[in-house]
Structures are given as structure tokens and as C-alpha cells.
Structure 1
Amino acid sequence: MGIVSFLGFTLLVGVISYISTLKTDEKSSDGYFLGGRSLTGVVIAGSLLLTNLSTEQIVGLNGQAFTEGILVMAWETLAAIAMVITAVFLLPRYLKGGITTVPQFLERRYDKTTKAITSGLFLTGYVVVLLPIVLYSGSLAISTMFDVPQLLNVSKTASIWICVFGIGIVGSLYAIFGGLKAVAVSDTINAIGLLVGGILIPIYGLLEIGDGNVGNGLSILFKEHSEKFNSIGSSEASVPFGTIFTGLMLVQLFYWGTNQAIIQRALGAKNLKEGQKGLLLASFIKILGPLIVVLPGIIAFHMFGDTLVNPDEAYPALVSKVLPLSFVGFFAAVLFGAILSSFNSALNSSVTLFGIDIYKEYINKKASELQTVKAGKVFGVFLALLAMLIAPFIANAPEGLYGYLQQVNGCYSIPILTIIVVGYLTKRVPAIAAKIAIISGALLYLAYVVLDSTIMQDQFPHFLHVMAFLFVLNVIIMLTIGRFYPRKIAFEQNYTGDVEISPWKYVTTIGISISALVIFIYIYFAQ
């Protein structure tokens, strides 16, 4: 029954996504890469949430909550403020310039070489880190939920390989052959399912703890595990409170404001108003994220305590224990959709970066839009296969997959954020400054990661503090170079007229309200 409902819901999403793309011109760059610049606020919000929410987050953050409690909600709640900043500050500038990729802005602001270096960093991060981790964590969840080793009579390792290629192939069909609109529509449908299914898990958990009463369940949790509901935590926590004011906010700004896999949804907006509505709607829902990715971990701690050896098993164990059998297939399908979303969104963005920023720029400058799209698809197939081959080997990665993902991402997130922020806030900082900053930022952070994990053995400051230090250092380097070797002609951004850029009249009011709500949540849970 579970497998039938799983296949039925998955097929339904695929059919709806296919039908939605029939009227989109997928032979043009805007049609394929940006969904014809036709996305509305609700679609953007749904796609943003599902692109972000996947198994490495659901399983990983709940695993951290199992160990540390509610303080890990920082990864969720602070995202809301970053999305507000993106809606108010960055998106109007992106849409004014009519860009398809973030590196396109860097070409206009600096030069082609800066754009190429940035695109290369994005692609390297996607293929080496993001895509394989999404595939592996997703395969682990699906393999466990359906007990694939027993179902197919294979080893656990073989089941991971099977699930990796299954997810990879289906995700590739969406991303490579459907374009952004297929990805965005499927994301929206799955977002609704994930929100419903994700909230059902803690509800059923609380019902079991409270003998059929959710309120009683919460009271028991607060009473017996009050230490788990401290938003501040200790200095030894995986996310120390002080990092909120340093690297954690920078990571959020990079992810929601400059990461191609995320911001591409907003770049496909039909106008600025819809883009801002989508970002703000997603930011409000994001505040509710801890109900899905934090609270279940605390519930699991109450139920299983020290019986779980690996904290990352907390969420799957809770689902198996509390979810009625009739919901298993549906929830597995929604979870599968979340896995596909993160995979195909990153893959679609990789295809976009390669087609627009590398193929058309360096390989075939005279390529037509159809040739550019085809080249991107071929590259996407190669990238997907490479990620599928790498993914199973992540089983040997250290514990705390989510924290590991965030740490490694620093090699490209902070350098890219640095040159984008300086690029928008200044007019005369030259291209050489951006090249030096992005290369030095990546190399210095890589050196920190290697030294901290080998010679120093975790004696350096927290990686989020190091990110903030390197951000400030590279900003100073860029401004110093700009002071002594400024551009001869000040940069001015021209309005391309691709979309209407009048801001939504409530964007500031709603943005301030969301930010205030985040601050209130932190104060409420502070101990």
C-alpha cells in the first residue's frame, strides 16, 4: 500500500509539471533557464522552500536537535532575515539588470575573468559537495524507509547505489529536460505536501507523548527537557550564539541572496512585486521551519534517549514509530520530492551557469540560444553522472552531515558574497580587486579547514567566526586596492526593461515585521 501511494503521488507531480511546461518556450534562454520570466509569488515561495528543504536538512538538523536542542534553529529562523534583505536590497538590482545568473552581474561590474572564476567556484561546489550530499542523504532516507536491502535482497551499500542512481536519473529528467518551470511547479506541489507531512510528524509524536493530547505532550517536553529549549546554548555548541552576529548571518545572506540554485527562482519572477512577495512569503513560512527540522529531534530524544547511537537516526526512527501506516507512502513521496528538489535545482543552476557563462562565452561565442540550451543539457547529464558516482562514497564522511556541508561550503560562499556586496556598494573598485579577493578568500579558508582538521585538531575559532574574519579581510583588501587603483569610469547599472521593477508597497512593512518576529522568538526561548 505504501509503495503504491508513493508511486501514485510521484507520478501525479510529474504529469502536472510536464503539462505546465507545454506553453513555455524551452528553446530560448529565458524560457528554459528562467521559466520565461513568468513565475508568480506563490510559485517562487514554494520553489524556494523545497529547494532549501531536503533530507540533509530534515535528517541532519533533527539529529543536531536530538543532541543540542532548539539552538540549532538558527539555521532556519535567521534565514528569514536574510530573505528580507534579499527582497529589499538585492532582488531590485538583479531584476533591473535583467540577469540570468549572478556571475553575469559580476561580468558587468568587473570583467569576464571574474565571472568565469565565480562560475567555476559555483560548479565545483555543486559537483563536489552539494549534489553528492543531497543524493547520499536522500538515498539513506529512502533506503531506510522502504527497507530496500530486504525488499531487493541486497546489501546496504548496494541499496544506497540503487537509490542514488534512481534519484539522480529522475531528478535529471526534471532539471535537464524540463527546465526551471518544471522544477518550480513540481517544487510548489511538493512544498504543500512536505509542509503538511512534516508538521504531522511532530503532531503525532506529541500525541503519543501526551497520551492523545498535543498540549500535554508539549508540557511534558518543556518540563522534562527544559535544557533543550534554550535558544542561546553554550560556547561549545555547534552553532554558538555569537556566530549569529558574525559568519552565520553572512552564510545566510550568501545562500538566500547570491546562491544561483536559490536566487534563480526569484530571477524568474514576472516582475519585482511578485519576486518580493515570493521571498517574503517564503521567509514567513521559514520561521515555522523548526517545527519540521528541530522539534521532531527533541521529541525523538524524549522517546529514544541514549538508545540511538547515531543522532542522525533520530528523525527516521521517529517517523517509523509515530506515523500511521496509511501515511507512510504519501510522506515518502513528499520526502522524495524534497530530495529531488534540492538535487534538480542545483543541477538546473549548474546547467544555467555552464550554458550562459562558459559555453556561450568561451566555447562557442556565436552559439544560438537553442545551441546554448542543448550544450547546457549535455553538460547537465555529465554533471549528474559525476555526482551519482561520488555520492555513495560520502558514507565515509564525518558525523554531522549538515554541519559538515555548511563548513565545506565556506570555500566558495564567503569569497563570492564578498565581491558581490562590494560590487553593489561601490562604483570604482576594479576587477583585479575582485580576482584577488575571491582567490585569496577561497585559498585561505581551504587552508583553515585543512589545518584545523589535521595539525591544530579543532583548536582554531569556530568556522563561522573564521568566515566573518575572512569576509572583513577581503573587503578591506578590495577597498584598499580600489583606493589606490580605482576604475577610470565609475560603474553604473542600466535598466534593461526585461521585467517591471516597481517595488511591492508593503515590502518594507512586512520585512520589518518578519525580522521583529525572529528577534521575539530568540528572546522568548533565551534562558
Structure 2
Amino acid sequence: MQSLWFTLLSCVAFMVLVGYIAYRKTRGTTSGSDGYFLAGRGLSGGFIAGSLLLTNLSAEQLVGLNGQAFRTNLSNMAWEVTAGVAVVFMGLYLLPKYLNMSITTLPEFLSKRFDEGVRRYTVVLFMVGYVLVTIPSMLYSGALAVLKLFDVPSILNISYTQSIWVVIWGIGIIGAVYAIFGGLKAVAVSDTINGVGLLIVGALVPILGLIALGNGAFLDGVKTITTTNPEKLNAIGGPEDSVPFGTIFTGLIIANMFYWATNQYVIQRTLGAQSLKEGQKGVIFSGFFKLLIPIFMMVPGVIAFHLYGGDLKSVDLAYPTLVMNVLPSYLSGFFLAVLLGAVLSSYNSLLNSASTMFALDIYKPAMKKDATDEQLITASKWFGSVIAIVTFFVSPMLMYAPNGLWDLIRKFTGFFNIPIVAVVLIGISIKKGTGISRKSCDHFPRGGLLHDGMGHGTDLWTSA
């Protein structure tokens, strides 16, 4: 009990510190719609990079990727290392266009390039993905890690399923307060601080894991992991793996393009940059750190395989189990705070983005065109609250995913991310025409030209 209280108190102390710093940094900066939705367009490259990284590196990644490494091999690292291509494309090509148009949301960009119909369809696609899978997966993966670190069922004298519900609601309510009442800048500042902590913990876990695997000798652990079951270190996926090797050069890059270049909850930080230079700096810096992610988020899964074999009930328990066994007790509170910070970061970002799209892409253009800044922020907060409550009920259902959390997320998001990427690339690559002419399939003649209805044609292969 003393260890438990120490962990909880140190966790609360770190989270309070993060909250205090975020409050001091954002005090007086959330007035007006630009201040609330885009941090007053004053984010520096450091805050953008920190927020992008922690938004991406949530418990979903820690639990999901390590679970896949435990189950199969390192082929899922393709998701991380190919992100660099999308990041460079975003920073050098798309971001200048986004900032030049002074947009707040991606659907707003599509309304300028197409029409209001495309804008609404895109918002619906985003909302379905956010509410049914993306937000619930982050809450559920965070709950799994907390339950493995602490015996919540015994502490509260409730069942495992009830514990999942309790932890999800607890994490969700705290995160909703950040996102709904703090705005984008509060999210970005807290993300950056927690991101530093996550990098520290992320580096410690594989090191301590290899020491445990080598019975106290780090090099012996390295020898074991490279000579015993070496196929676990294979990064070239076969037909039976989640990421077959051939898909790296086709669909995988496009999927990463969606996440890093057209996903509202990611690009919203870059749209809040104080300048193009700062925005590009933040994007490229985050892309560099993505190349190191397999060390933090896949190698521990392989170590867990060597330590525990088939003793785990679920592949998604690989990382939490390893952390519980190798991390010193005096760091458990810090790890819990960082883990919750990572969960809250992604959750906050998604809620903030969903609320932003509702206020600016549905409420203002379709329901109240003359809405004031105060009315927009109020509508955003109410919608964010509704979305939060819905996801509290959806999240626990993910415990029934048959092949682990990571596979479920990737299969579902494929239904809506590729269409959005296609629409954005077409919108950027051709001149503006009428909405109907640019959406009609009968404007694709044999020569590969897309006509805009105004006598102009663009070679799709060349421009895209």
C-alpha cells in the first residue's frame, strides 16, 4: 500500500506540475476563435513538434505496436519509418498551401477548392472514424496499461470488465476538461512536457528489459534477442503479416499521407504556427524522431516474447507486463503520469479537432452563419462534451477485438483515409472550377485530363 500511495502521489504531483505550466503559458491567450482553435496562430516549432509527437505516440502505439511485435515480428515498423516520406511532403509542399489560404480546418480547405457538399461529407468521414475507433482505441489502450500496473479490480473490489469501464471514464473525464476548456494551446504545451517524459521512459524500458533478459547483463540480453528466435527481428513482412512488404511502396505511404498531411487532429497544430518556418521546423523535427520509434515501441514487445512466451492472456498486455516487471518502483509514478499524459494528449487532440470541425464546418456555415466567436466556442464545447460521453461507452467494446488493437484500428481507418487523401490531392493539383464539374466522373477523358468545366484541363498523373 505504501508503494501504491507513493506511485499515485508522484503521478498526481507530475500531472499537477504539467497542468500548472500549461495554465501559465496559456493564460489570456484563448480569447476569440483563433485563440481557442489555433492557439492564436502563435505556436513555435518546438511546441508543434512536441505536440505532434505525443499526439502520435499514445498508449495506442505503446500497447498496440509492442503487442504486434510480441505476436509476429517487426514488420509493423513500416508504419513508423515510412511516415518520414509523408512528413517531408507535408512540410515542404502542403503546409505552405494550407497557411497561404489561412484555413482552420481541412474541410474548410476543401470547401474553397470544391464546395460545401464535399466539406460536409469530409466532416462526416472524420467524425465516424474518430468516434467509433480512433478515440475509443486511445482510451482503451490507456486503460489496459493502467490495469496492468495496478490491480484495480482488487483495490476497488470489482470485476476486470468493471475496472475497464471505471478507468476509461476516469481518464476520459480528465482529458475532456483539458480539451474542452483549455483550447489548442493548452493541449500543445502539456503535450510537449509529457513528450519529453515519454522519450525518457521509452528509452529506459528496452534497456532495462534487455538487462532482465540477460539476467543482469545488458550484452547477454542483446545476444539472446539476436540469436534465439531471430525471426522475431524480421522487418520484412510476408503475405501472412499485417504489413506485407509490397504494401510499403503503395498503400502504406498513402495511409501515412492521410495521417500526417490531411488528418485534422494532426495538422491543426501546424495551422496554428506563428510562421511557415516554425511550422515546417516542427513537422520535420517530429518526422526525425519517428525513425527512432521502433526502438521504443517494438523492441520491448520482442523482449516480452522472450521473457513470457505464451503466458499472456492478450498480445496487448506485452508492454504493460514488461514495464511492471522491469521498471523500478520509484519511477512507477513518473511512468504512470507520462502514460496518462500520452493518452490524454491524443484524446485531447481528437476532441479538440472534432469540436473545431463541428463549430467551423457545420455549426457556422449550415446552422448559424452570423455566429460570434463566443457562440462558436460554446457550440464547440457542447459538441466536445457529447462526443466524449459517446466514446466512454464505445471504448470498452474494444476488449473483444480478436487480433489485437493495432490490427483493428488499421483495418477500420482504411475505409475513410484513402478517399480523403485522394480528394485533397485532386483539390491541390487542379485549378478551381465549379463544385459539380470537379466531382463529376465524366470529366476524365482518355488522355488522362481532368477538365474543370471552364475550358481548362490538367494532366492528373503529372500534377498529382
Q: TM-score range by the shorter chain?
A: over 0.9
Distance 1:478 1:249, change over 3 A: farther
CA distance in 2, matches of 1:122, 1:140: 25
Q: 1:335 is paired with a residue of what secondary structure?
A: helix
The answer to whether structure 1 residue 17 and structure 2 residue 19 are counterparts is no
Q: CA RMSD in A?
A: 1.9
Q: How far is 1:428 from its partner?
A: 5.4
Q: 1:284 is paired with a residue of what secondary structure?
A: helix
In the alignment, which residue of structure 1 is the partner of 2:316? 312
Q: Contact (CA 8 Å) 2:148, 2:321: kept in 1 or not?
A: no
Which 10-residue stretch deviates more, 143-152 or 341-350? Answer: 143-152
Q: How far is 1:212 from its partner?
A: 3.5
Q: 1:39 is paired with a residue of what secondary structure?
A: coil
2:109 counterpart (96, 105, 110): 105
CA distances 1:32-84 after superposition (whole Å, capped 9, x unpaired): 01101111111111100111111121111101101222221111111122111
Distance 1:164 1:219, change over 3 A: same
CA distance in 1, matches of 2:106, 2:359: 13
1:130 counterpart (114, 118, 134): 134
Q: Contact (CA 8 Å) 1:2, 1:329: kept in 2 or not?
A: yes
CA distance in 1, matches of 2:443, 2:419: 11
TM-score by length of 2: 0.93
CA distance in 2, matches of 1:402, 1:429: 40
In the alignment, which residue of structure 2 is the partner of 1:270? 274
Q: 2:310 is paired with a residue of what secondary structure?
A: helix
Which 10-residue stretch deviates more, 301-310 or 285-294? Answer: 301-310
The answer to whether structure 1 residue 77 and structure 2 residue 81 are counterparts is yes
Q: How far is 1:392 from its partner?
A: 1.6
The answer to whether structure 1 residue 165 and structure 2 residue 131 are counterparts is no
**Paired residue total:** 451
The answer to whether structure 1 residue 285 and structure 2 residue 298 are counterparts is no
In the alignment, which residue of structure 2 is the partner of 1:201? 205
TM-score by length of 1: 0.82
CA distance in 2, matches of 1:132, 1:432: 36
Q: 1:274 is paired with a residue of what secondary structure?
A: helix
In the alignment, which residue of structure 1 is the partner of 2:224? 220
Distance 1:427 1:10, change over 3 A: same
**Identity of counterpart residues, as a percentage?**
49
CA distances 1:275-298 after superposition (whole Å, capped 9, x unpaired): 111111111111110111100001
1:484-503 to structure 2, matched below 5 A, reads 486-488=452-454
1:28 counterpart (32, 39, 42): 32
Q: Contact (CA 8 Å) 1:106, 1:115: kept in 2 or not?
A: yes
1:369 counterpart (351, 366, 373): 373
In the alignment, which residue of structure 2 is the partner of 1:3? 8
Q: 1:251 is paired with a residue of what secondary structure?
A: helix
In the alignment, which residue of structure 2 is the partner of 1:60? 64
CA distances 1:416-439 after superposition (whole Å, capped 9, x unpaired): 110100111112565336657xxx
Q: 1:306 is paired with a residue of what secondary structure?
A: coil
Distance 1:152 1:490, change over 3 A: farther
CA distances 1:335-384 after superposition (whole Å, capped 9, x unpaired): 00011111110000001100111111011001011211111111111111
CA distance in 1, matches of 2:80, 2:437: 33
CA distances 1:437-471 after superposition (whole Å, capped 9, x unpaired): xxxxxxxxxxxxxxxxxxxxxxxxxxxxxxxxxxx
Q: 1:237 is paired with a residue of what secondary structure?
A: coil
The answer to whether structure 1 residue 114 and structure 2 residue 118 are counterparts is yes
Which segments of 5 or more consecutive residues in structure 2 lack a partner in the other structure? 1-5, 458-464
Q: Contact (CA 8 Å) 1:175, 1:344: kept in 2 or not?
A: yes
1:433-472 to structure 2, matched below 5 A, reads none
Q: Contact (CA 8 Å) 1:429, 1:479: kept in 2 or not?
A: no
Q: Contact (CA 8 Å) 1:428, 1:489: kept in 2 or not?
A: no
**Paired letter, 1:14:** G
CA distance in 1, matches of 2:126, 2:242: 26
CA distance in 2, matches of 1:113, 1:422: 16
CA distances 1:114-137 after superposition (whole Å, capped 9, x unpaired): 111111211121112211121122
In the alignment, which residue of structure 2 is the partner of 1:391? 395
The answer to whether structure 1 residue 324 and structure 2 residue 307 are counterparts is no
CA distances 1:168-219 after superposition (whole Å, capped 9, x unpaired): 1111111110000000001001100111011111010111223444333222
Q: 2:241 is paired with a residue of what secondary structure?
A: coil
Q: How far is 1:225 from its partner?
A: 2.8
Q: Contact (CA 8 Å) 2:398, 2:405: kept in 1 or not?
A: no
Q: How far is 1:412 from its partner?
A: 1.4
Q: How far is 1:307 from its partner?
A: 2.2
2:306 counterpart (288, 293, 302): 302
CA distance in 2, matches of 1:120, 1:78: 28
1:355 counterpart (343, 353, 359): 359
Distance 1:142 1:490, change over 3 A: farther
The answer to whether structure 1 residue 413 and structure 2 residue 417 are counterparts is yes
**Paired letter, 1:13:** V
Q: Contact (CA 8 Å) 1:428, 1:487: kept in 2 or not?
A: no
CA distance in 2, matches of 1:67, 1:203: 21
In the alignment, which residue of structure 2 is the partner of 1:141? 145
CA distance in 1, matches of 2:77, 2:229: 16
In the alignment, which residue of structure 2 is the partner of 1:257? 261
Distance 1:332 1:490, change over 3 A: farther
CA distance in 2, matches of 1:354, 1:434: 25
**Paired letter, 1:351:** S
**Paired letter, 1:39:** L
CA distances 1:5-48 after superposition (whole Å, capped 9, x unpaired): 11111111111111211031x23121101101111111111100
Distance 1:433 1:416, change over 3 A: farther
4+ residue runs over 6 A deviation:
none
CA distance in 2, matches of 1:2, 1:151: 14
CA distance in 2, matches of 1:84, 1:213: 40
In the alignment, which residue of structure 1 is the partner of 2:158? 154
CA distances 1:230-275 after superposition (whole Å, capped 9, x unpaired): 2213221111011101111110000000000101111111101111
CA distances 1:368-423 after superposition (whole Å, capped 9, x unpaired): 11211111111111111111122122222332211111111122111111010011
Q: How far is 1:2 from its partner?
A: 0.9
Q: Contact (CA 8 Å) 1:429, 1:478: kept in 2 or not?
A: no
In the alignment, which residue of structure 2 is the partner of 1:240? 244
